[in-house]
Structure formats: C-alpha cells, structure tokens
Structure 1
Amino acid sequence: MSNEIAKRKLLSGICHGSIFFSATFVCIGVPIVILFISDDETVQNNAKEALNFHLNVWLYGIIFGILTLVLIGWLLLGTLGIVTVFMPIIAIVKVLTNPNKVFRYPFILRVL
C-alpha cells in the first residue's frame, strides 16, 4: 500500500471520527484543519462531508431540544444520539475499505 493511500485513509478517518473527540468546537475544528492542510481532493471532500454532518447534528439537536417541550423531542433526541454514534462508524469503515471514494452521509443538508 502506498504512503499516499495510507495518508488518505488516516486523514479521512480522522475527519469522520472527530465527532467522538468532543461535543464542542473541537469536533468541527479537526475537519477544518484537515481541509486546509491537505492537498488531496478526496480528503478535502471527506472533510467537507464530515463538517456537514457535524453541523446537521448540532442543528437537529437544537430543534429536537426545543421539541422536548412538546414531549416528542425526547424520542427524536434518542434517535439523533444513535445516528450520531453509528453513522460516523459506518463512514470510517467505508473510507478505510475504499479510500478513493468520498463517503456521503444520507439525509443531511449540505452547506459546504
């Protein structure tokens, strides 16, 4: 395996896994830094996709948090928690098994 492919796997995996580092701005800071320091287009696209996912998680968390006032938010927050854990794991596995392809999260709003 070439050094370039190994680097692509590592950086793409870190982008998608950064949500496990912290629930604060660290999880967004990691893909932003990788987006700017990497010259690999696949890694940059994975960083953008990870950023979009993180922003969506925060947006949905705020909306579902407000909906807890009408009680349906508790169910939605639980679902969001499950999605927040499993989707990045799926993304990491996908970018490690096929490093030349960008993982696209389903059902998210793409800002970047």
Structure 2
Amino acid sequence: MYGADTDKRKLLSVLSHGSIFFNATVVAIGIPIAILIVSDDPVVKENAKEAINFHLNVGLVNILWAALWIFLAIITLGLALPLFSLWVFLHWGLTIWAIWSCLQNPEVPFRYPFIFRVI
C-alpha cells in the first residue's frame, strides 16, 4: 500500500463519488476537485478524477435531457417520463455502485462505464 490509512482512502474516495448526490448545488463538483488537489494518495486522486469526469458527463446529459424533455413534452409526456426515469435510475445506480466498490476494494480506483473522460 502507498502508506495512506485505508479508512482515510475509503472516506475520501466515497466523498468524491458521493458528491454527485449534491449535484443540484454548485459546490458538488468542488468536492472531488478539492480532494484531487489536497490528497497525495494515487488511488484517491484517480477516484477524484473519475468523479469529476462523471460530474461533467451528468451535467452534459442533464442539458440534453432538458432539451429532449421540452421536445417530448410538446409531443407526448408518455414517452418522456419513462426515459427520464431510466436516466435517474442509471445516474443514482452508478453512483451507488462506485461508493460500494470504493468501500469493498479501497486499493483500486473505480471506473464508471460508458462515460467520456475529460480529465
């Protein structure tokens, strides 16, 4: 191990990924950015980078959803609601999976599937 306390690694990794639950606030993406800057642990840094990338992907998809929601709401609400429900399930499900993975295996950074990695 790198010398970092396992509990500290778990806590910082879970905070990075769990910050997505505060996505409606501006400070949400600031949590993994602060952890990335402050931490010296390479696993925590990788988890923070992955969380930042997930925040950026969620923001992009939310913008696309808003445009699609307006378009589909004009046409029919019956199609928009199931699609939005699927997005919420994926968004929260992937976050819970990341937190669970960080708690179960703190030595390996979690990688979200199917996202664009900017950082």
TM-score (normalizing by structure 2): 0.85
Q: Which residue of the partner structure matches residue 69 of structure 1?
A: 70
Report deviation, 1:43.
0.2
- Counting matched residue pairs gives 111
Cα deviation code 1:14-73 (max 9, x no counterpart): 100011134122110100000000000100000010011111111001011101233155
Gaps in structure 1 of 5+ consecutive residues:
none
Gaps in structure 2 of 5+ consecutive residues:
73-78
Q: Which residue of the partner structure matches residue 21 of structure 2?
A: 20
Taking every aligned residue pair, what percent have the same amino acid on both sides?
50
Does residue 78 (structure 1) correspond to residue 79 (structure 2)? The answer is: no
Q: Distance in 1 between matches of 2:69 and 2:62?
A: 10
The one-letter amino acid paired with 2:85 is: G
Does residue 33 (structure 1) correspond to residue 40 (structure 2)? The answer is: no
Which range moved further: 19-28 or 93-102? 19-28
Q: Which residue of the partner structure matches residue 56 of structure 1?
A: 57
Q: Is the 8 A contact 1:34 1:47 kept in 2?
A: yes
Q: Distance in 1 between matches of 2:80 and 2:114?
A: 19
Distance 1:13 1:33, change over 3 A: same
Q: Is the 8 A contact 2:23 2:29 kept in 1?
A: no
Q: Report runs of 4+ in structure 1 exceeding 6 Å deviation.
A: none
Distance 1:8 1:27, change over 3 A: same
From the CA coordinates, give the structure whose radius of gyration is larger.
Answer: 2
CA RMSD across the alignment:
1.7
The one-letter amino acid paired with 2:34 is: V
1:55 alignment partner, SS class? helix
